[in-house]
Structure 1
Amino acid sequence: MDATVADPLVGQVLDGRYRIESRIARGGMATVYVARDIRLDREIALKVMHSHLAADDDFVRRFIGEAKAAAALSHPNVVAVYDQRTDGEHVFLVMEYVPGRTLRDLLDERGRLGPREALEIMQPVLAALGAAHRSGLVHRDVKPENVLITDDGQIKVADFGLARAESASKMTKTGLIIGTVGYLAPEQVLSGNADVRSDVYAAGVMLFELLTGVLPHRGDSPLAVAYKHVNETVPAPSTAVPGSTPEIDLLVTRATSHDPAQRPQDANQFLAATAEVHGGLPRDFDQRVAAASRNQTAVFEAGPLDGHTAVYGAGPTAPPGYETQYAPQRTATDRAIGAITGKYVLIAIGAVAAVILGWAVWYQVSGQYDHVPDKIIGMELKDARQRLQDDGLQVRVASAVYSDQVKKGQVAKSNPPAGARVSSGAVVTLTPSKGRTPRKVPDVEGKSLSEAQQILKDKGFTPGDVQKAPSVTVSKDEVIRTDPAAGERHSPDQPVAIVVSTGMSMPSLVGRNADQAENQLRSMGLKVNVEKQKDGGKPPGTVLSQSPDPGTGVSGGDEVTIVVNKKDCLFGDFFCRDGGGGDDEEKIPVPDMTGRTVDEARQALENSGFKVNVTGIGGNIVRFQQPSSGEAPRGSTITLVRAP
């Protein structure tokens, strides 16, 4: 509930249509919300990509392609994808809302399932995967977390193909294996490649987990688990729990073969085999397995024979003839032994009590013990050290740790803890705080200095030094970046420096050809005001002066002025000293606006003297421009193609 209240998206309306009502899950790729489609008045689920992925152009492109493929997949056991949209920095999917719980929740509650019930769950899962495989779509992330169970028991599989966009993006940038490592096929570990048979392997692992309650390969790290997928086979379920049949064992071991060619060649083949095995099980098979399991774990006491208590498993594990041989003797034997042993038990209890009482009295009155001071936590480290040494204790200092309760340089914890009783001269280890736990620095690029400082304060950071730097892409007086950079983890106890743009640097134009100077200024997105005057001592058509001065910071849209020396002309402006009259069509440089917002690009190009045509599939970023460079006639049209 607190997480929902704190989530900034809750209550917002995305794309003017989807009102976010609450957050229901957060994963490595996205956060899932319950929302309402205002236009159709229905409850839906929104899967909003994390900001670091939404800012990755390669990821967004792959994500849109995979979302389209998933949306084309129609099956009763598949969570439907209705739409893919972008709203500002938010890239999201609109999906069917499935109230209920996940298969992981069911496993957490039950531990493991009966063989018949496990196969009943696997069949709709495999049917959903089979529909995807017929369409050429690979899931790539089959696991209990992606299997949803509705309130009326219907099974639906989520996130078809969406792992591909994330894995392709991260594989390119980091070379890491992406996916839920417990279900990765060997070929995914070795090469990162996956096909429909990789989904079959993951489904086989999931069946093993449903039957046994555990994954077949476990280790201290993801790398260790991945190594086992490559070098060890998945065992038969019957080796872990009783009740599995040879046919069920074969389902698992075939599906998880290291050689993809030995597995069922898609989920439809696996489904057919699973349905056949399920049909051969009696209806009460799970009840029989449960009863047999209870019998195997039941125990009983054989009785105190010869002064010992023997425990045997039920049924055939008890000694042959136990009841007839030993039961008649137990009553007399127990009475005899009980009379003898009862006396000594009382004596032993009394002796132990005396020892404990004596130790307790000695502990309280002995002068060889002291307490770690109660108020040691929160003291400055040097003061705490002195306090303990004054009390006759030795002090060691451990490596500092982050603490949200204790300021930097103060004692965050001690070992033994405050108030503990220690012997005189004992060692107390103090752990100092190195400040509050690091958190992500917010992105304030493009904000004014005052806005950026307020955002940092709202996130718990202290704004630090303000530095100035020129920038071609960030307007004057707006924030270029922070130090540390946005997204990096940083302790709030350390200030965050801010770098503010001084804009573009005004070039030195005096003495240059006026047309070239004007074209350069317009290509920078500046509004150019040209004034003319006559100076006989300077070449005609050159810049006499400029405003602002060279080196001054300017931003796109700013107005600048150049004063140009008039040309010597006869009979008006037609015949001029430089041979004017009938100049060819003037061409000017085309600035590259790729990666800029559509509004910024339009403004800069129009200021440069061009007309602008905008096309594309939506979004607000220029992804392509024609022409993208070189020169073009003043007044000609530049086409911008935008995309999310």
Structure 2
Amino acid sequence: MFKANSFVSVLVHLTIMAAIVAALIFGFFYLYLPSATNHGETISVPKITGMQLGDAEQLLEEQSLRYFINDSTYRSDQKPFEILTQDPAPGAKVKEDRKIYISVNMKNPPMIKMPKLIDGSVKNAELILKSYDLKKGKITYVPDLQQNAVLKQFVGGKEVAPGALVPKGAVVDLHVGDGLGNTEFEVPSVVGMPVDEASVLLAGQGLQVGNIFYDASSTEPTGTVVKQRPFAEVGAKIRVGELVDLWVAGDEQLQGIE
């Protein structure tokens, strides 16, 4: 048996031991570990966004990859269980058995509280609906003095009160005031009256003065209403909020009346 009875023999022993250790290290890091972890072998992540979950699952299995759903949301313009996002992105290089994180479109929309659109304008209603992920549907104008004001809100043909639960993405139909109202009455006659008094009378009956035309050739006193439209004929009707055009005697510049 070899005996370590000299300096040379000790040195030989140390050299042999160092060689064994180096061989073990080399074998572990450069032979065993690469083969066990498929060192240098990567997989290109396929594009699965836009695919159905079942199809994507099969594709990932074929690529030796896995998936994990870390988010779900609802988009009415996309199919249920459609993959919306993925991480890592398509084309990324990953190791075998890597987990791909995905978000999926829900089958059923979540329920949200219906916002209050009533008494606001149509434009304001559109902004609110968009912020709630709801869609503006049909607008129906109905007789009411509140012009362009939302009077009622409907989902699926049924009136919905603010705070009631509706599906996210639902279509909301609106009933909006036409600014005229539905009360009809006989057209008042203001011919022969001073234009300022005629304006007060019309306003008092819920009517509006429309265009004012001046007739310098009229023989009536300056500022007198000589004609109106619509005419105050027997049986002529008008609704609250409608316009009445006036013809006034005199020259506009001399009167200074706008």
Is TM > 0.5 for Structure 1 vs Structure 2? no
Q: Quick check: which has more Rg, 1 or 2? A: 2
TM-score, length basis structure 1: 0.19
The answer to which structure has the higher strand fraction is: 2
With normalisation by structure 2, the TM-score equals 0.39
| Larger RCO: 1 or 2 (CA < 8 Å, sep 6+) | 2
